[in-house]
Amino acid sequence: RKEVEQDPGPFNVPEGATVAFNCTYSNSASQSFFWYRQDCRKEPKLLMSVYSSGNEDGRFTAQLNRASQYISLLIRDSKLSDSATYLCVVNPPGSARQLTFGSGTQLTVLP
């Protein structure tokens, strides 16, 4: 089983739609969680950290479910500029600040 698993997609949604991605992680003692965004042929960029109580940043909402070991990202009112690959990232315990990256979920927002 992969340490971090994501549905690779692609997700093709119309502008204005709400879309949700899920990610599961294998190590129940993982400490930190993030969502990164990666545009085609570009570097990954931090989208948001994921906190235990859930957190929101504008149209983006992240949730953490430790009991089920999954993380979610909800994007409301999708924009064309949201088209990218979204990477789920986990910091397992005892990893000296190493991060484990999921393979990513590809999103295309259509006009």
Partner 1 sequence: NAGVTQTPKFQVLKTGQSMTLQCAQDMNHNSMYWYRQDPGMGLRLIYYSASEGTTDKGEVPNGYNVSRLNKREFSLRLESAAPSQTSVYFCASSEIRSNQPQHFGDGTRLSIL
Contact 3, 100 (CB under 8 A): yes
Contact 51, 101 (CB under 8 A): no
Dist CA 77 CA 56 (whole Å): 14
CB atoms within 10 A of CB 16: 10
User: Interface with partner 1 includes 44 (CB under 8 A)?
Assistant: yes
Using CB under 8 A, which of 42, 59, 66, 79 touches partner 1?
42
User: Interface with partner 1 includes 45 (CB under 8 A)?
Assistant: yes
User: Interface with partner 1 includes 84 (CB under 8 A)?
Assistant: no
Residue numbers of the site for partner 1 (CB under 8 A)?
A: 4, 8, 31-32, 34, 36, 41-46, 49, 87, 89, 91, 96-99, 101-104
